[in-house]
């Protein structure tokens, strides 16, 4: 899968528009968190992952962004995206358990993806396999005990082949992370672990590239400071972008805004 194609500005814009089109045609929401995660996912799939490497999306409700990333590298086709969220589709609202080679696990019950990623990374390490694992979590799921247990496990086993991305957009299902169960800033809670911790702009391609590049002596955690609904003014930092689908008028307005960037 390692295309090593450096993405241009238009690649990000086209991916955002294709994501909006897919969600609009299927009549489903969860768009805000997809837009906050998409930029990093695109760089991961185009510029970072090798053929043996694994990507695990712990924040499963951003499956739309994952499907668009796979579409952008040619692993899914337009006809596949038209089936998003339909009956008997492989492109379910959360990553499926089987049927798509590039998706190793069904995820979406938040708090379990990092455990799966840590186990996979340890398996590679025990087999002297130089493959890497990258896992994207939400910020809200760091309120889950299982996520912290996975971090303890990964840190203890010195899983230097594991990179954890945290889509830190400050929102979760019932409100802002500050209102629901504040741990702000989350990165301060992680400093006590034996990890390589970086806090970056999650929409800055060069910052993401730099954070992902090079070998690290410890487990790598990259805190992506992102904006829910990135690129669409009436979605940015709004709770309703977590749930509501797009009307035709709003879809056309969103596409126009992205084209004007």
Q: How confident is the model at residue 180 (pLDDT cuts 50, 70, 90)?
A: low
pLDDT of residue 170: 82
Domains and CATH numbers, the chain: 9-236+247-260 (3.40.50.970)
The answer, yes or no, to whether residue 3 has pLDDT greater than 70, is no
Average pLDDT in the chain: 92
Share of the chain above pLDDT 70, in %: 95
Kindly give, in sequence order, each residue whose CB lies less than 8 Å from that of residue 151, ignoring residues fewer than 6 positions away. 114, 164, 190, 193, 195
198 SS3 class? strand
Residue 2 has pLDDT above 70, yes or no: no
**In percent, how much of the chain has pLDDT > 90?**
82
Nearest to 139 by CA among 129, 147, 131, 130: 147
Cα distance between residue 33 and residue 35, in whole Å: 5
Cα dihedral across residues 253, 254, 257, 258: positive or negative? negative
Classify burial at 106, counting beta carbons within 10 Å of its beta carbon; exposed 0-12, middle 13-18, buried 19 or more.
middle
Does this model's pTM top 0.75? My answer is: yes
Range 165-192 average pLDDT:
80
Each residue of 201-248: pLDDT tens digit? 999 999 999 999 988 899 999 999 999 999 999 999 887 877 789 999
% helix, strand, coil for the chain, step of 5:
45, 15, 40
User: Which residue carries 């002297």 as its tokens?
Assistant: 128
* pLDDT tens, position by position, 22-33: 999 999 999 999
């Amino acid at each position: 899968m390692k295309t090593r194609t450096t993405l241009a500005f238009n690649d990000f814009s086209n991916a955002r528009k294709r994501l909006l089109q897919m969600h609009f045609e299927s009549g489903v929401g969860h768009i805000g968190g997809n837009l906050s995660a998409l930029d990093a996912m695109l760089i991961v799939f185009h510029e970072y992952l090798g053929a043996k490497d694994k990507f695990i999306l712990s924040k499963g409700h951003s499956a739309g962004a994952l499907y668009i990333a796979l579409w952008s590298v040619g692993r899914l086709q337009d006809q596949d995206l038209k089936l998003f969220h339909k009956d008997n589709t492989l492109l379910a609202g959360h990553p499926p358990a089987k049927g798509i080679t590039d998706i190793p696990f069904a995820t979406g019950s938040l708090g379990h993806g990092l455990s799966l990623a840590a186990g996979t990374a340890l398996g590679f390490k025990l087999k002297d396999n130089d493959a890497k694992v990258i896992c994207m979590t939400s910020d809200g799921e760091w309120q889950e005990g299982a996520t912290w247990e996975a971090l303890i496990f990964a840190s203890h086993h010195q899983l230097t082949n594991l990179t954890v991305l945290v889509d830190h957009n400050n929102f979760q299902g019932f409100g802002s992370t500050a209102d629901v169960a504040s741990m702000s800033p989350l990165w301060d809670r992680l400093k006590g672990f034996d990890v390589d911790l970086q806090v970056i702009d999650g929409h800055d391609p060069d910052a993401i590239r730099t954070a992902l590049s090079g070998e690290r002596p410890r487990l790598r955690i990259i805190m992506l400071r992102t904006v829910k609904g990135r690129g669409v003014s009436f979605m940015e930092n709004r709770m309703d972008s977590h749930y509501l689908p797009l009307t035709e008028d709003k879809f056309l307005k969103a596409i126009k805004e992205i084209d004007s960037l």
